[in-house]
Amino acid sequence: MIQCFVKHAYEPVFTGENQPRLLYVSRIDPAKSIYPRVMHSHKDFVELILVRSGVSKYFIGDRQQYVCAGDLIVYNSGVLHDEAIWSEHKLSIYCLAVGGLALPGLRRDALIPDNAQPVYSCEACLPVLERLCEMMFDALRAGTCQSEKFAQLLMESFLVKILPVLTGAGPEEDSEEERVLGARIRKYLDEHYMDAVDLSYAAEALNMSMHYMSHVFKRVFGYSPMNYLLRRRIGEAQTLLITTDLSITEIGERVGYETTSYFSTQFTKQVGMSPKKYRKTYVVRQDGP
């Protein structure tokens, strides 16, 4: 018999106001990763993406980054993110949503400093993290009160495992003048993406030519302003399809489309399936496979 003993006094990691809550777990297999979750952010929780296999390019905050198997992506609350899937490099991922975080030295609902790079290599502990995610997913799918408590404790174990990796990361480089200008443009677009935006009005409001505005924005973020607006609208539509019972017509109107047919066409083009099908297939039913 081999016996291992506890050698250190136990000190709780999560105390006081810092009481993380597991909100959901998603498992995206390679066949489903061709239907991306388009540009969006989360108001009051942190999202964690564990990449099990594949390669892709993500837009996170104000830059694009490549990710691969073994990487962990951290989205603090309020951080805009988008993904671009390459058909020959389909992703397999787990996605966790955690609310209630209040870590010392960080704002609420943040797991890393806002100026820290958001992608971390966890290849060495990938099997452990993957197993924890698998157990969380299965526990939530079981749908019982006891299994949800079990999933909550597994999530805390997941956080304890990754915190040493996250605390070793340094800040990103300071923004250059062009990046600051790009941020001004994005702020305007974020405030008006659900309106019928005319880019000439945007350029006038920002006191620059439309050509220069488009050039700077594309250089900084990798999107044209119009494509950025499109993906913001579709990303918000995905959120409404998942989290509300609004009709397809109502959702289209909320994100700036005057006709349901045009909204459905644009949604299908960006996501790979219609809004109706997306709503039906995104959330796993309790009795699902």
Common-topology check for domains 21-167 and 177-282? no
Question: Strand ranges (DSSP E) for the chain?
Answer: 21-28, 46-53, 55-60, 63-68, 71-75, 81-84, 92-99, 119-121
What local confidence, expressed as pLDDT, does residue 289 receive? 40
Question: How far is 140 from 132, CA to CA, in rounded Å?
Answer: 12
Residue count of the chain:
289
Q: Which CATH number fits domain 177-282: 3.40.50.11400, 2.60.40.10, 1.20.1280.290, 1.10.10.60?
A: 1.10.10.60
DSSP secondary structure code for residue 43 in this structure: S
Question: How far is 254 from 194, CA to CA, in rounded Å?
Answer: 7
CB-side neighbour CA atoms (13 Å) of 82: 23
What local confidence, expressed as pLDDT, does residue 65 receive? 81
Cβ proximity of 50 and 133 under 8 Å: yes
Q: Which of 50, 102, 112, 110 is nearest to 78 (CA)?
A: 110
What local confidence, expressed as pLDDT, does residue 87 receive? 47
pLDDT one-digit tens code per residue, 250-274: 999 999 898 999 999 999 988 889 9
pLDDT one-digit tens code per residue, 143-172: 999 999 999 999 999 999 999 988 865 445
SS3 (DSSP) at 93: strand
What local confidence, expressed as pLDDT, does residue 34 receive? 56
What local confidence, expressed as pLDDT, does residue 38 receive? 77
Q: Residue 87 is encoded by which pair of tokens?
A: 């058909």
Question: Strand ranges (DSSP E) for 44-165?
Answer: 46-53, 55-60, 63-68, 71-75, 81-84, 92-99, 119-121
pLDDT one-digit tens code per residue, 204-261: 888 888 888 888 888 777 788 888 889 899 999 999 998 899 999 999 999 989 899 9
Q: Which of 84, 112, 88, 82 is nearest to 98 (CA)?
A: 112
What is the dotted CATH code of the domain comprising 21-167?
Answer: 2.60.120.280
Cβ proximity of 73 and 121 under 8 Å: no
Cβ proximity of 77 and 42 under 8 Å: yes
Question: How far is 114 from 117, CA to CA, in rounded Å?
Answer: 8
* Predicted confidence (pLDDT) at residue 85 exceeds the cutoff of 60: no
Q: What is the mean pLDDT of residues 11-37?
A: 81
The single-letter code of the amino acid at 92 is: S
What are the sequence ranges of the domains in the chain? 21-167, 177-282
